[in-house]
Amino acid sequence: MKLTPKNWDNFQHYKHRSPPWIKLHRNLLDDMHYQRLPIASKALAPMLWLLASESSDGVINRTPEEIAFRLRMSEKDVLSAIKPLIDNGFFTDADNMLADCLQDATTEKRQSRVEKEREKETDTPDGVSPSVFKDYLAVRKAKKSPWTPTALEGLQREAKKAGKTLEEVMRICCEKNWVGFNPEWLKTEVKTQDKPTIQWHQTLGGVMAKGKELGIEPKTGETEGQYRQRLIMAGA
């Protein structure tokens, strides 16, 4: 970061030596832009001018970390206080390093927030054992279905309808490889299991279809029973 104070050359009367002090012009009191700066920025400005006086050209060629160390401040506080000074023209940043630093800090903060949200989303719900929840998440992951607060609410709602606990519902989903749950799905399965299986020889349509499958046509004058028996024997 290369910071240069505004009009530095115009106010330096000691160009060939580095004095242990700096002078502040009185008109700074009536500088509207300076007085409107955040308090932290107004307090930081004189400290930066002191740092600038250490170099012959008034350029503060230091990293934000080094500036923070010299001023015994945190790097975060330095960056946030410097920005208004640059935005209002009191300093120029030749390397435009501040924008990169602030972008990195913002990105890091955003990533941290996203990570925290993800951790919160994958917290084991109350009343569910970690092992069952882990298995259920594996099912969702395999089907590329993200686990979200909305998904949790939906599962809890359907579990209540079915009169089951959330863990019971998750166990069912793991066993049946379901991402979601609906009580009606269980009823449908029961009806399907209870429905008797109809064999091909129990209906005329089944007999005719079987005959077509085997390539055996009914004979003239042959009864349905005789034709069925002949198909049974052929199939055996």
The model carries a pTM of 0.41
* Residue ranges in 23-96 assigned as alpha helix (H): 32-35, 39-52, 64-70, 75-87
What mean pLDDT is reported for the chain? 82
The span from the CA of 206 to the CA of 168, in Å, is: 42
Of residues 198 and 156, which shows the higher confidence score? 156
Give pLDDT tens digits for 76-134: 999 999 999 999 999 988 777 665 565 655 566 666 665 555 545 578 999 999 999 99
The span from the CA of 92 to the CA of 98, in Å, is: 10
Amino acid in position 118: R
Facing residues of 91 across strands?
Answer: 5
Check residue 55 and report its DSSP letter: S
The span from the CA of 31 to the CA of 29, in Å, is: 6
Reading across the β-sheet that carries 2-5, which strands appear in turn? 60-61, 2-5, 91-93
- CA angle (42 as vertex; 39, 46 as ends), nearest 5: 145
- Which of 62-76, 101-115, 144-158 is least confident? 101-115
